[in-house]
Structure 1
Amino acid sequence: VVTNNHVVEDATQLYVSFIDNSIVEAQVKGTSPSMDLAVVAVKLDNIESDTMNAITIATMGNSDSLKVGEPVIAIGNALGYGQSVTTGVVSALNRVLEMDETGTSNAMIQTDAAINPGNSGGALLDINGQVIGINSNKIGGNAIEGMGYAIPISSAQPVIEQLMNQETREALDEANRGYLGISCINVTSAMAEAYGMPEGIYVAQVYPGTGADEAGIVKGDIITGINGMTVTTQDDLLNAMQYYAIGETIEITVMHGNPTEGYAEETRTVTLTSQEAMNSTEQ
């Protein structure tokens, strides 16, 4: 089940409500804060057969072929009052908006279909009922009437597929959570263009004796993936790391090199460190 990251990021329990009003507990499968996307999973054994028979899988459309003025339909749970549908048109395409405080930007679909709190994570459909976007109230907010935004499905789909293929895990509390042993900053698209660096997470410091240090991650490396999943911001990395325990081994993809000589993609196998051990190396 696809939704927005900001819908699930602070949740301690998740439930999915189906078309027949049955409610089933769910777990986060993966999140992408930089795209404001999340995938949650429901165990098939927990879904009644009548509910399964009532479920129809959405058909994906092609947001790349959209034109300004085309009619669209926004589906959601506006203001928590239950399922609702609003209609409008595509007002603009490729509206570049900041997704979060890190400065990460994405090209969005702008629509005048009402997207209110509760519509987040719902589908934006074309006139044929195909999904062309994922509504996000976080991006547009509700300060200006008639300006809603959706994440284009053509750019969202590769991220969704990555998240779907992840192992379903439960988030760990900080005491049991593993750490790489680094401090880092984001390399935004603007920084990447200005300094000739790949986009990703720049390693500003590696703490001695930590998993990152022992795996060969060095200052100047740019992290772009964890266990095969793309990460582009610190938020992406932190969200992914909350599911891995102290002592677990993970694969970190880095761009190793420098702007003068160029970068090469390499993989580092990291055994995660406890926060306590990491803190002791800082002193």
Structure 2
Amino acid sequence: MDNKFENNNFYQAGSPSDKIVDADEVTIEDIDGESVSQKTKKAKKIKMPKKPLLKKGTFGNKLMKCTAMAAAFGLVAGVVFTGSTSLLSSTQDTQTTSNTSATSLSNSDSTTVDSTDTSDSTTVTDVSTVVENVMPSIVAITTVSVEEYANMFGQSESYESEGAGSGIIISQDDDYLYIATNNHVVEGATSLTVQFVDDSTVSGEIQGTDSDSDLAVVKVAISDIDSATLSEIKVATLGDSDSIAVGDTAIAIGNALGYGQSVTTGVISAVDREVTTSDETTGESITNTLIQTDAAINPGNSGGALINANGEVIGINSSKYADTDVEGMGFAIPISDASPILQELIENGSTSDSSESGDAYLGIAGVDVTQDIAQNYNMPQGAYISQVVSGSAAEEAGLSEGMIVTAINGEEITSFEDLSSYISSASAGDTVTLTVAVANGQEYSTQDVEVTLGSKTN
């Protein structure tokens, strides 16, 4: 499809200086690189008298010059000020009468093709009041996760990494506030902190996630929040993303680059865009239908709000198309699609679709041991296990960090993507045999491990 974007460039202008050309024709390049001729008009020449009216150096000559300059200034100033006043008046008249006097350039009486309709609507340039109303419902989310990697000797090492994202307060009950965000914001987090509009922070925990829709819910105990903060924060008003139209005002609020809440504005560029992204843990490709906007969406904005001119949340900011040739292509999950999923996550911690789908889940994260790495460090080629999820099928089967999966059910595995693809084609409850290489000093021994695959919700 023409409106489908692949995941290669997701994370998730200069113009040539103007020149005055004294020529009848110049050649430029259009945006496709084709040469295009463009005509320009030369400035008209003004004929001057061949001889001076007065002799050089005389007092009269100087007086004449002063008088001429003064008169010229007065004339130019008069023209400029009068022109400015006239232009301002003309602009005001145009603004107030454009809808009544607008007409088509067509001279035909034919009604085969209608003229476009005009509107009294104006462009929203000041969104400060809208932002002031919505900002108390937006939070910043900071996560801490443990990253595993293989060193040059094939041994597993780990380090803590910190991530930044955003969230929207969407619901509350007697005990908790519930915050909507992206799954990729909280995925793999060992701890997370929520920062409210008054800069106060509390610890949060994951209530539920849905990787297929890239949605998650974080909950915060109301008892952990100061009364002063409770009086400042608000629950967001959710809008109807099904009723938005291309050209509508779009305002994005989020924790851009982890610097704190910031605001960008733009319009709805397109609706129903099919965007394909990749799950960082499983490597699985997922396609969702998203809202496209030119409001700037940067790392840290993920999970924040895309709102309309009325201050209603119409989308959850998710990703940006990043490329040196691309500018102004951000995407958000439509709130009308997200709302029922978020409600299920709040109530059950999972969605019925994911629990009943039978999708298999192994419960590991890893990296590729490429052919070059294998040769350089005397390691078998395959999928290196960098993390085993607690309580997962992988942990129950005895898989551990540092092992390298080299085959599944007798089929060779040369990358983590190979392993992920095989698992995604299986069903929860299936039993598979993994061949793994285990480091034993400078050597590797192999063994077969039987794993009964779990569900994504386990």
User: TM-score band, normalised by the shorter chain?
Assistant: 0.5 to 0.7
Partner SS for 1:97 = strand
1:83 aligns with 2:265: no
Q: Deviations over 1:244-264 (max 9, x none)?
A: xxxxxxxxxxxxxxxxxxxxx
What is the match of residue 177 of structure 1? 391
Task: State the Cα distance separating 1:206 from its structure 2 match.
Answer: 2.3
Give the aligned residue type for 2:348: Q
Q: Deviations over 1:199-218 (max 9, x none)?
A: x975287239xxxxxxxxxx
> Does the CA contact (< 8 Å) of 1:75 and 1:124 recur in 2?
yes
Q: Quick one: distance in 2 between partners of 1:104 and 1:175?
A: 21
**Identical counterparts, % of pairs:** 48
> Does the CA contact (< 8 Å) of 2:245 and 2:268 recur in 1?
yes
> Does the CA contact (< 8 Å) of 1:122 and 1:134 recur in 2?
yes
Q: Quick one: distance in 2 between partners of 1:55 and 1:68?
A: 31
CA RMSD of aligned residues (A): 3.0
Task: State the Cα distance separating 1:176 from its structure 2 match.
Answer: 5.2
Give the aligned residue type for 1:140: Y
Partner SS for 2:345 = helix
Q: Quick one: distance in 1 between partners of 2:430 and 2:334?
A: 37
State the TM-score, normalizing by the size of structure 1: 0.62
What is the match of residue 315 of structure 2? 133
Q: Quick one: distance in 2 between partners of 1:123 and 1:146?
A: 17
> Does the CA contact (< 8 Å) of 2:305 and 2:316 recur in 1?
yes
> Does the CA contact (< 8 Å) of 1:97 and 1:105 recur in 2?
yes
1:99 aligns with 2:99: no
What is the match of residue 26 of structure 1? 204
State the TM-score, normalizing by the size of structure 2: 0.39
Rg larger for: 2
Q: Quick one: distance in 1 between partners of 2:260 and 2:206?
A: 22
Q: Quick one: distance in 1 between partners of 2:273 and 2:222?
A: 38
> Does the CA contact (< 8 Å) of 1:36 and 1:99 recur in 2?
no
Segments of 5+ residues of structure 2 without an aligned counterpart are 1-178, 351-362, 364-386, 398-407, 409-423, 433-452
Partner SS for 2:427 = strand
Equivalent residue runs for 1:1-283 within 5 Å: 1-100=179-278, 101-137=283-319, 140-141=321-322, 144-166=326-348, 174=388, 177-179=391-393, 202-203=426-427, 206-207=430-431, 237-238=455-456, 240-241=457-458
Q: Quick one: distance in 2 between partners of 1:11 and 1:35?
A: 18
Partner SS for 2:257 = helix
Shift in alpha-carbon separation, 1:150–1:115, aligned structure 2, 3 A: same
Q: Quick one: distance in 2 between partners of 1:58 and 1:142?
A: 33
Partner SS for 2:190 = coil
Task: State the Cα distance separating 1:48 from its structure 2 match.
Answer: 0.7
For this pair of structures, how many residues does the alignment match?
Answer: 194
Task: State the Cα distance separating 1:12 from its structure 2 match.
Answer: 1.4
Partner SS for 1:118 = coil
> Does the CA contact (< 8 Å) of 1:35 and 1:99 recur in 2?
no
Shift in alpha-carbon separation, 1:119–1:57, aligned structure 2, 3 A: same
Q: Quick one: distance in 1 between partners of 2:317 and 2:182?
A: 8
